[in-house]
């Protein structure tokens, strides 16, 4: 009978043993624990066993009982308990800098795949060390004899004497070779068992008495003197049987999920009909399954229906069962291949402007949060699905076609559904207005200037749809004209537009007056440059000064005073835009807005 299913009898009972040398030799049995859920009790577990102070080669005896628990005695479904007593090494966490070594915590060994015992890491509360490695204590197990006593307290043959197994490298094989079995039965009126535990205290080589009975192989190395020795004694339930007038039925629920099914065995409710069934209804469980005790006779096993799965039952899921008979029923549920339909997602982008526009391909479409390709029919299971997109890029999203306003759609078996997702960019408008001031001879008009929003050319005075957010208004600069931005834009042309908002920015261009600089160059004699009255349009100017003039007008270059003894030699100079000074006095020069020229007039003695 499966222990797990009848009263959950899978826990262990541990009797912990420790021996320490103080002056002579001291031994203690410590950390007695024996909780077997509701099957067995070990009365000594609360207070533990203690041998007190012992000396090498002394022998001490202690008794302990193993009993069927009160709840087990009252449970009609069970009768016999079989158990084993096993010995395992003991682990402890050494306290640093103690000699002889003392231990702050004790731990149970674990077993690796090769059957070797390994000490685990242990958490030490209240310290900054979250995990501390425990170590194996010197082994005490070989010095403990264990004997089952009969009803009169006499020893039986069910025993193992002291001095057994190795002193080091104790493995699971040694544990199994030295284990003892026990049996309790309600039907046989054997509800408890008494055991005698003997400690044969070891001696150390070279220090043993001449008449000692400790075999040389079990005399410890003196290096271990004063150390703490240890051994854990485990009481483990190995089997629980049913009453002699009952039958046993094992019910196994096996679930096959090879077509995207998600249910587990425990999601199925099992039902057993028969006479005096111990568990008529219970959750399903994979192998080893659930054990049910019932009276001999007719029985059947069924389950509550579950959508999406097809059940099949083994032969022993119905029929008759005899006293003491054990049958196994296996109900297998295989998930059905899902019914499928098709769902196609189409993307439409409505962009009211051509600024920062997104294309349909920029949007990643999803069905139930899984990425899909636009315009392609996708196989989906029958039922409800949700169409959406990974990123809307700030666009307004709406659904049409077979989807509702939230993007939800129901797909039936064999149906082909289509959902259209439309993204409309929320927009506002920006109007850029050009103003041109020609008060210094400039001739350009509005059409001579190229206006831009975010680098895109726009027409002066025409509103332009733009995406919600920050934008920049600018123009392609024209030489000879200054520019100033005003209106809703800041001085650098930046402007922010909200949905449905209209903003207006004005760029004003003012023509820049060109300038002429006259320089008098005198060669020979004692005359100075200022002795020659150089002029523009017959207005005398100071040699070397810069003189603003009107653009696109002819200006006369001359000198109003001719100094005796000097003759005109030349006028030289070319403007920034490549216009040459006149070759002779009273010649003219015409400049565009913003142009600059220096004309040098040379007179020679």
Q: Examine residue 7 and state whether it is found in any structural domain, yes or no.
A: no
What pLDDT score does 39 carry? 62
Residue 137 carries which DSSP code? P
Same domain (yes/no): 129, 209: yes
Separation CA 228–CA 18 (nearest Å): 6
Q: Examine residue 6 and state whether it is found in any structural domain, yes or no.
A: no
Q: Examine residue 53 and state whether it is found in any structural domain, yes or no.
A: yes
Angle formed at CA 406 by CA 405 and CA 412, multiple of 5 degrees: 90
Separation CA 171–CA 348 (nearest Å): 72
Q: Examine residue 179 and state whether it is found in any structural domain, yes or no.
A: yes
Same domain (yes/no): 499, 519: no
Same domain (yes/no): 46, 157: yes
Provide mean pLDDT across the span 55-84: 84
Strands 155-160 and 144-149 come out as antiparallel
What pLDDT score does 127 carry? 63
pLDDT band at 563; cut points 50, 70, 90 = confident
- Contact (CB, 8 A) for 140 and 17: yes
Q: Which two tokens stand for residue 287?
A: 């192998």
Instruction: Report the side by side order of strands in the sheet with 469-476.
Output: 456-458, 450-453, 469-476, 494-497
Same domain (yes/no): 556, 498: no
The residue among 475, 494, 511 that closes a domain is: 511
Q: C-alpha distances in angstroms, 262 versus 238, 251, 268? A: 34, 21, 12
What pLDDT score does 500 carry? 82
pLDDT band at 54; cut points 50, 70, 90 = low
Q: What are phi and psi of 360, to 5 degrees?
A: -55, -35
Strands 427-437 and 450-453 come out as unpaired
What pLDDT score does 213 carry? 86
Same domain (yes/no): 197, 75: yes
Same domain (yes/no): 289, 433: no
Q: Strand (E) positions, 390-440?
A: 396-401, 408-411, 416-424, 427-437
Same domain (yes/no): 72, 197: yes
Same domain (yes/no): 154, 168: yes
Task: Enumerate helices (H) and strands (E) in the chain, giving the number of each.
Answer: 2, 49
What pLDDT score does 361 carry? 86
Same domain (yes/no): 552, 434: no
- 3 state SS of 368: coil
Same domain (yes/no): 486, 552: no
Separation CA 210–CA 122 (nearest Å): 43
pLDDT band at 203; cut points 50, 70, 90 = confident
| pLDDT greater than 80 at residue 5 | no
What confidence tens digit (pLDDT) does each residue in 251-301 have? 999 999 998 889 999 999 999 999 999 899 999 999 999 989 999 999 999
Same domain (yes/no): 63, 32: yes
Domains in the chain: how many in total?
Answer: 5
What confidence tens digit (pLDDT) does each residue in 294-327 have? 999 999 999 999 988 999 999 999 999 999 899 9
| pLDDT greater than 60 at residue 47 | no
| pLDDT greater than 60 at residue 561 | yes
What confidence tens digit (pLDDT) does each residue in 390-439 have? 988 878 889 999 999 999 999 988 899 999 999 887 788 999 999 999 99
The larger pLDDT score, comparing residue 88 to residue 351, is at 88
Three-state SS string across 323-346, please? Answer: CCCEEEEEEEEEECCCCEEEEEEE
| pLDDT greater than 90 at residue 458 | yes
Q: Examine residue 371 and state whether it is found in any structural domain, yes or no.
A: no
Angle formed at CA 342 by CA 341 and CA 345, multiple of 5 degrees: 150
Would you mind telling me the total number of residues written for the chain in this entry?
605
Domain limits at 319?
Answer: 247-335
What pLDDT score does 36 carry? 32
What confidence tens digit (pLDDT) does each residue in 342-372 have? 999 999 988 755 555 778 888 999 999 999 9
Separation CA 258–CA 353 (nearest Å): 52
Of 363, 421, 422, 369, the residue nearest 393 (C-alpha): 363
pLDDT band at 159; cut points 50, 70, 90 = very high
Of 87, 83, 128, 90, the residue nearest 109 (C-alpha): 90
Provide mean pLDDT across the span 93-110: 88
What pLDDT score does 80 carry? 87
Provide mean pLDDT across the span 190-207: 89
What confidence tens digit (pLDDT) does each residue in 490-530 have? 999 999 998 889 999 999 999 999 999 999 999 998 888 88
Separation CA 450–CA 464 (nearest Å): 15
Same domain (yes/no): 475, 492: yes
Q: Examine residue 341 and state whether it is found in any structural domain, yes or no.
A: no
What pLDDT score does 18 carry? 36
Give the H or E element holding residue 93.
Answer: strand 90-94
Asked if the peptide bond before residue 288 counts as cis, ω within 30 degrees of 0, the response is: yes
What pLDDT score does 281 carry? 97
Q: Examine residue 4 and state whether it is found in any structural domain, yes or no.
A: no
| pLDDT greater than 60 at residue 16 | no
Average pLDDT, the chain: 86
Whole-structure pTM value: 0.48
Of 349, 284, 279, 278, the residue nearest 313 (C-alpha): 284
Separation CA 388–CA 407 (nearest Å): 6
What pLDDT score does 578 carry? 95
Q: Which CATH number characterizes residue 330's domain?
A: 2.60.40
Strands 567-572 and 554-559 come out as unpaired
What pLDDT score does 220 carry? 87
The residue among 240, 255, 276 that closes a domain is: 240
Separation CA 451–CA 448 (nearest Å): 10
Q: Examine residue 542 and state whether it is found in any structural domain, yes or no.
A: yes
Separation CA 408–CA 31 (nearest Å): 63
pLDDT band at 40; cut points 50, 70, 90 = low
| pLDDT greater than 90 at residue 26 | no
């Amino acid at each position: 009978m499966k222990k797990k299913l009848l009263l959950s009898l899978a826990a262990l009972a541990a009797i912990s043993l420790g021996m320490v040398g103080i002056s002579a030799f001291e031994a203690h049995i410590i950390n007695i624990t024996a909780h077997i859920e509701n099957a067995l009790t070990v009365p000594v577990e609360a207070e533990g066993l203690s041998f007190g102070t012992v000396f090498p080669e002394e022998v001490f005896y202690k008794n302990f009982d193993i009993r069927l628990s009160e709840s087990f005695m009252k449970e009609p479904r069970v009768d016999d308990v079989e158990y084993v007593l096993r010995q395992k090494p003991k682990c402890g966490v050494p306290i640093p800098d103690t000699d002889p070594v003392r231990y702050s915590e004790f731990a149970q060994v674990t077993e690796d795949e090769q059957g070797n015992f390994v000490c685990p890491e242990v958490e030490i509360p209240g310290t900054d060390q979250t995990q501390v490695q425990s170590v194996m204590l010197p082994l005490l197990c070989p010095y403990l004899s264990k004997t089952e006593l009969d009803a009169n307290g006499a020893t039986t043959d069910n025993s193992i004497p002291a001095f057994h197994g190795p002193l080091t490298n104790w493995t699971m094989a040694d544990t199994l070779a030295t284990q003892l079995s026990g049996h309790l039965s309600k039907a046989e009126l054997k509800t408890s068992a008494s055991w005698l535990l003997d400690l044969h205290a070891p001696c150390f080589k070279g220090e043993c008495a001449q008449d000692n009975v400790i075999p040389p192989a079990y005399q410890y190395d003196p290096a271990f003197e004063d150390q703490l020795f240890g051994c854990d004694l485990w009481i483990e339930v190995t089997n629980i049987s049913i009453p002699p007038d009952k039958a046993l039925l094992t019910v196994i629920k096996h679930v096959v999920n090879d077509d995207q099914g998600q249910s587990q065995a425990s999601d199925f409710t099992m039902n057993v009909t028969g006479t005096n069934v111990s568990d008529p209804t219970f959750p399903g469980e994979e192998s080893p399954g659930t054990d049910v005790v019932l009276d001999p006779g007719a029985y059947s096993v069924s389950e509550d229906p579950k959508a999406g799965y097809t059940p099949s039952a083994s032969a022993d899921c119905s029929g008759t069962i005899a006293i003491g008979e054990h049958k196994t029923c296996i109900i297998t549920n295989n998930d059905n291949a899902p019914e499928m339909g098709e769902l196609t997602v189409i993307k439409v982008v409505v962009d009211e402007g051509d600024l920062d526009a997104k294309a349909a391909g920029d949007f990643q479409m999803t069905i139930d949060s899984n990425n899909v390709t636009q315009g392609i029919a996708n196989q989906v299971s029958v039922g409800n699905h949700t169409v959406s997109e990974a990123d809307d890029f700030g666009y307004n999203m709406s659904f049409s076609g077979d989807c509702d306003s939230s993007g939800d759609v129901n797909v039936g078996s064999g149906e082909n559904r289509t959902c259209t997702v439309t993204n409309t960019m929320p927009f506002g408008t920006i109007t850029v207005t050009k103003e041109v001031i020609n008060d210094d001879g400039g001739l350009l008009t509005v059409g001579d200037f190229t206006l831009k929003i975010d680098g895109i050319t726009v027409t002066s005075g025409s509103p332009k749809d733009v995406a919600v957010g920050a934008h920049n208004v600018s123009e392609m600069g024209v030489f000879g004209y200054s520019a100033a931005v005003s209106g809703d834009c800041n001085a650098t042309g930046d402007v922010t537009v909200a949905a449905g908002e209209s903003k207006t920015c004005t760029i004003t261009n003012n023509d820049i007056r060109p300038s002429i600089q006259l320089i008098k160059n005198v060669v020979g004699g004692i005359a100075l440059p200022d002795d020659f009255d150089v002029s523009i349009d017959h207005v005398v100017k100071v040699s070397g000064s810069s003189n603003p003039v009107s653009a696109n007008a002819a200006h006369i270059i001359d000198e109003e005073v001719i100094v005796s003894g000097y003759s005109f030699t030349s006028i030289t100079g070319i403007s920034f835009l490549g216009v040459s000074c006149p070759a002779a006095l009273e010649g003219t020069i015409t400049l565009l807005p913003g142009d600059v020229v220096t004309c040098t007039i040379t007179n020679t003695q």
